Structure 1
Amino acid sequence: MVNGGVIRGLGSNIVNGGVIRGVGSDMVNGGVIRSVGSDMVNGGVILSVGSDMVNGGVIWSVGSNMVNGAAIRGVGSNMVNGGDIRGLGSDIVNGGAISGVGSDMVNCGVILSVGSDMVNGGVIWSVGSDNVPGGVIRGVGSDMVNGGVIWSVGSDNVPGGVITGVDSDNALPTTLPTFPPTLEVLLGVRV
């Protein structure tokens, strides 16, 4: 039941167009697929294993499910509704690399974004990243960080890690502060 395109795989069924170089890629409406077990893909490029229900965009990932659009180069990125993961409004991503704005509830991976909340690990160069129990943060207004390194302004409630910021409250620093505070300590930048 192939309507068009090129198929270099096994068991690729119900393909409406595009190129498939995979095994068991079913119900693909368009785009390029170089994966194993990628089902129900509506468009875009997929270089992944087990990427299901992708509506568009580019995916270089393993187990990326229910992605509606954008580019994902991660592992286990689930329920992404839109945007380039270098885009806007990518929510509920469980893993992978995100260079976007407003990426919420990311459990691991690398985030170069603004407003990334509830990140459990990885590296964050962002503004307003809250509730991060680990990783590296070089942002503004990162609150409730349980570990890692913080180069930020207004980071509150940090029980561990290194802080070179301004207005960091309730912190348990790993090094003793210097008195009187230097401009580097006050400004969070090297002067």
Structure 2
Amino acid sequence: MTIASAVRAVIRDQGILKLPRIALDSLKLLDFHIFAINRGDLSAPVPMPDGVAVYADSLDRLKRAREKLHDLPNEFWRDRLNGALHCATVEFNGELAGVLWVYDYPADRPIVVLEPGESELTTTFTLEKFRGRGLYRALLWTATEWQLRQRPRLFMVVDSHNQTPMKAVLEVGYREVGVVRRRAIHGPKFSIAKMKCV
């Protein structure tokens, strides 16, 4: 998927009349909450809802699903849009329902300055028809457990308007380590090594 394709997907998903609002929203100041989790801090496994299957390290599985599903939002294409190499996916009754992308150091993240051995779990998306079933929390727990087997510390960034992840990250065992106020399209970065905005 090219950038032009991503823009077309946004127009398709949101409608051309919403583009001015989307553009204005990207210029508003938002509070981005930075969460971290260390190996050993993961909560007990979350209950897996009936019909749900979660797959770690599932980029190949996602690619096969995309061959059949042609109307997926651009969140399902981060490997082509910005070079993500790893993802976890969740299915409901065998149907692709959501994705969570993992960016490893030395990936250049928009907010978190990653150090060697660290990763950021980000760009999660659950298709609308599957929301409200506990899939996001199951996906986040599984992806976190998978990544903590390989790395000592992980990060997540959640903007203050996104209430489902704000609740789920705490339930999984993440703790808030900082807040950065910035515009969605640019702004300062957060370095855990320096514990401040850089």
In the superposition, the TM-score normalised over structure 1's length comes to: 0.24
Q: Which has the higher strand share?
A: 2
Q: Which structure is higher in RCO with an 8 Å CA cutoff and minimum separation 6? A: 2
Q: Which protein shows a greater Rg?
A: 1
Q: Which has the higher helix share?
A: 2
